Chains A and B, each alone.
Chain A
């Protein structure tokens, strides 16, 4: 079947199998390999992307469902001048990634969170990221990164 999908600001028309998952469309058809597959039960969130600005798990979305919509992956998140998005910058400054496998999904879920709730508390961040699993960071620095991006991280770094 034919899909017409916006990916990181450019529109593409592709012929795909009806059962093709959005994550495989992004990775294999569009060659955008940053979005990862970490599970097969929609639990880990490594595949999280934005569809029309809302974070979704692309491993349980069909490419067909993205027809006529705009998908943003971590590759498309940088500012227009090429510098990192404030969330990417915050992840770097807070050491919110180690092996990096969950990171694209974690960043996109965090961007999605702030678009809905610009000043989340620590508890709200933890709840919002429940569907994004990380085995390296213990989430400590991911939570700090989201707070940094939201502008709610104290100067002294205290987790008050």
Chain B
């Protein structure tokens, strides 16, 4: 590295890629380890009905089948605890499920029994032979029905409500408004669909310790749940997370299957492996979103929004973690807007469907989708350009830090600037002219323009309090370095990013920095990777710990070189320390490490979460005769503060944009009224492919935060949050001149065609 130049902020290729590309990354199902020699395989028997009482389970035929080692049901689970309760629920204790269904099944796909076989294929055969007799009970699938508490999933709880925000409502909040618009908005349930499905390998080692390999977003969090539910000693469990084939929020928490597999390893005293099929994944892995929202927005005809209310009914599925989503949606309800009166109420209910939990954005996309739809509804009602309405109401840059009426403290932002940049970059005026020409001509294919201006919360929990993360940095005698991080990559490029932070401050080449993660013996504490926390917390921890390490090295070098530590500077050319003004008087970090261990451990604690923001503009073409939507352009600003590596940054944006578009146009998890899932293969669940997307147009803007030394905010979820409402608004905009005001997602041809037809009949 040349003196005076910084690697930070530059486009650095990933250090992990050569092995990923030539040998393949090592995921859980790829693990080759002596401790797994002779492993047996687990296959789950899953409930075929959404709600029912288990009458009997007959293991006889399965036990007699070829290769079967064991068949277990809830009755066998002696001394095993229950799954964690839905968070935030007063009745949580009465809403806990057993890791294999006991007495009652509550969704199609719930594990009822597990078959253990010598070979993997034998498990598929033997699972078919387990006779499960279930007496069906009425199922409740629609959260509106569940909220009535007529069918109870957990009768002891006396309610299906897993969380309620319990806020006072002001019946007069819209009284001063000239215009009030209200609309029900569906934020449909979607599947996380990491390409690597859930898997696990577990062995009870010779020393009696339980070793577990699992794809997770944080080995430490997995371990604490395993310790708690399986009632193990803390030091008797070792969790390793190898490379992970995507998480998107759905791999944060261990599921029932993840708790049964290590228990089986203990029970059988044999190594055990499990990998699910895609159909099982679409049946039983926690899903995302799933909100029924009602937005009410009011203000003056000059475009001033005076009041906004968001009511959320969250479908949490069968006791998922979704109550967190509902509360985050409420927290972020006002979005980027400075509105005098805001109310948000959230309620989460259990239904006889797969659990709903975190998924890319986890509660914030839902908040943004609601308020951005509301802004367009308001703009349409008063006949104003939606861009002008947004400019008039966004939080002004001189108001930061800005405390919202919901209690969030926005650290920094330039909301109007982001919107203006996107509109200019897209050529908004020209696009509007083209739209008008098509309308004037009465074209079959109409142009729609949709925008969203968003803010999200990263690196923090529910409350506006700070989170922390740890790091250890060690330099070795051979001149290499090792970083231990409590964050947990699953595609984001931590190995490269953390190496950049060490290399910048020491001169050690990137290739000589090894980043280790996801091993609870090596790294006992860590918050994992979720909520886009990694760079701002974990990266800052690596950065500040490296600073400490350099200071420690300076003290030792000063003694060695008989110099004042203050006169020492890092010589990045030689990966060492030199004396100012005395060329040739220097010592390398490697030499210092050869004399004495050169290692520093540190924790970085942030004063609070940060609030990345941005603006997206989507241009869509809508065939008014067939309802088909084609996304023509997606132009975005995603401001996440200072950018460490634009390569990784843009990659996160691309993936987020694709996901956001996918929710707007294609993806939806569907159940029939009896709770039978309709989307259990990729033939039914329309995961977005290359043909349905354009290349994205990314514009740059960096508004640093003061909350960490890197100036960085999170970027993993931002582009998902902004793009969904931009695309949805664009489709509605394409049909606005026909009288259409709202269409729910996903904007399938059938839905769009129906909206056009209804508008033509005057029923819009």
Contact = CB atoms under 8 A, between A and B. Distances in A.
A27 B14 CA distance: 26
* Chain B contact surface mostly: loop
Given A74-B21, A95-B651, A101 B27 contact: yes
Nearest to B695: A159
B278 A101 contact: no
A46 B278 CA distance: 12
A3 interface: no
A92 B14 CA distance: 7
Interface stretch (A50-58, A64-72, A120-128): A120-128
A125 B24 contact: no
Contacts of B18: 84, 92
Contacts of B30: 27, 33
Contact of B195 (A31, A38, A159): A38
B358 interface: no
- Tell me which of A24, A101, A126, A134 has the highest count of chain B C-beta atoms within 10 A of its own C-beta: A101
Given A99-B491, A140-B696, A43 B654 contact: no
Interface in B215-274: 243-246, 248
Interface in B354-374: none
Given A135-B248, A139-B658, A19 B687 contact: no
Contact of B277 (A40, A130, A140): A40
Nearest to B647: A95
A77 interface: yes
Contacts of A24: 120
Contacts of A75: 22-24
A17 interface: yes
Interface string A8-46: 000000000101000010010001011111111101101
Contacts of B687: 133, 135
A103 B20 contact: yes
A133 B682 contact: yes
> How many residues of B sit at the interface, in one of the four size bands?
35 or more
Given A75-B22, A138-B654, A98 B493 contact: yes
B13 A93 contact: yes
B496 to A, nearest CB: 10
B397 interface: no
> How many residues of A sit at the interface, in one of the four size bands?
35 or more
A34 B682 contact: no
A99 B275 CA distance: 18
A135 B658 CA distance: 8
A142 B695 CA distance: 10
Interface in A75-132: 75, 77-78, 84, 88, 91-93, 95, 97-104, 107, 122, 125-127, 129-132
A7 interface: no
A101 B196 contact: yes
Contact of A140 (B14, B29, B695): B695
A60 interface: no
24 contacts: A24-B120, A35-B24, A37-B29, A38-B245, A40-B279, A41-B681, A41-B682, A43-B682, A75-B22, A77-B22, A95-B648, A98-B492, A98-B655, A99-B491, A101-B194, A103-B20, A126-B693, A131-B689, A132-B690, A134-B195, A135-B194, A137-B655, A138-B655, A140-B696
Q: Which 9 pairs from chain A and chain B are nearest by CB? A: A34-B24, A101-B245, A99-B491, A138-B658, A98-B491, A43-B682, A138-B654, A39-B278, A33-B30
Interface of B: 13-14, 16-18, 20-27, 29-30, 32, 120-121, 193-197, 243-246, 248, 275, 277-279, 490-493, 647-648, 650-651, 654-659, 681-683, 687, 689-691, 693, 695-696
Given A78-B22, A92-B14, 6 more contacts: A39-B278, A43-B681, A100-B20, A126-B693, A135-B659, A140-B696
